[in-house]
Structure 1
Amino acid sequence: MLDDTGRTLVGDAGSRDPIDALRAIRAQRHELDRAEALAVRRARNANASWQLIALALEVSRQAVHKKYGGSRRKD
Structure 2
Amino acid sequence: MSDIKSLPSPENPEEALAAVVALHRMAEQLERKAVKEAIAQGWSWSQVAEALGVSKQAAHKRHAASISKSK
Q: TM-score, normalised by structure 1?
A: 0.77
Identical amino acids, percent of aligned pairs: 32
Unaligned runs of 5+ in 1: 1-5
Distance 1:13 1:54, change over 3 A: farther
The one-letter code sitting in structure 1 at the alignment partner of 2:23 is: Q
- 1:19 and 2:14 equivalent? yes
Equivalents in 1 of 2:10, 2:66: separation in Å? 39
Distance 1:68 1:23, change over 3 A: same
Could you tell me which residue of structure 2 aligns to residue 59 of structure 1? Answer: 54
CA RMSD, aligned part only? 1.9
Equivalents in 2 of 1:47, 1:32: separation in Å? 22
Q: TM-score, normalised by structure 2?
A: 0.81
> How far does the alpha carbon of each residue in 1:2-48 deviate from its partner, in whole angstroms, 9 at most, with x for none?
xxxx427x423435311100000110000000000000000000010
